[in-house]
């Protein structure tokens, strides 16, 4: 089964026409041309994809792995409730 990180990476590749190597976990979103507004839009799509809510999320969002982490956090919150 794909990890959350892998799924996030696949979404990034598809949405922003990026290559596998570009979306490595430590890559910053800014270096991929994904600005703060695009990040917010991407999170909106993540909510759909994982059936989670990120509207209360205020964590650091600089790298690809940061995104995967907040998704994992939201998924575990969902599992608890």
Partner 1 sequence: MKRVVVTGMGVITAAGTGTNAFFRNLLDSVSGIAPVDVPMSDRLKIRLAGQITDFHPAFPKERMPQLDRFSQLALTAAHEAWNQANVTGMFDPFTAGVYYATGFGGSATLEKAYTDLFLRDSERIHPFSVIAAMPNAAAANIALDFGLKGACLTYAVACASSAVAVGEAYRAIRSGTSKLVVAGGAEALLQFVIMKSWESTMTLAIEDKIRPETSCRPFAKDRTGLVLGEGAGAVVLEEMEHAQARGATILAEIVGYGLSNDAVHLSRPDAEGQARAMRAALSEAASNGIKLSDIAYLNAHGTATVMGDKVETESIKMVFGERARHVPISSTKALHAHLLGAAGIVEFIASVLAMNHAIAPPTAHLWQADPECDLDYIPIEPRQLIAPRAVMSNSFAFGGTNAVLIAKHA
Contact 11, 68 (CB under 8 A): no
> Whole-angstrom Cα distance, residue 15 to residue 62?
18
Q: Which residues contact 16 (CB under 8 A, 6 or more apart)?
A: 32, 33, 34, 38
Residue of 11, 18, 22, 47 interacting with partner 1 (CB under 8 A): 47
30 counts as binding partner 1 under rule CB under 8 A: no
36 counts as binding partner 1 under rule CB under 8 A: no
1 counts as binding partner 1 under rule CB under 8 A: no
Residue of 53, 59, 77, 78 interacting with partner 1 (CB under 8 A): 53
Measured from the CB atom, the residue of 1 and 37 that comes closer to partner 1 is 37
């Amino acid at each position: 089964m794909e990890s959350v990180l892998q799924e996030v990476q696949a979404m990034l590749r598809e949405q922003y026409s990026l290559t596998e190597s570009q979306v490595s976990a430590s890559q910053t979103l800014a270096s991929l041309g994904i600005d703060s507004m695009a990040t917010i839009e991407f999170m909106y799509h993540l909510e759909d994809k994982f059936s989670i809510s990120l509207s209360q999320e205020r964590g650091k969002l600089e790298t690809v792995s940061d995104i995967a982490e907040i998704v994992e956090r939201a998924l575990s919150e969902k599992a608890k409730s």
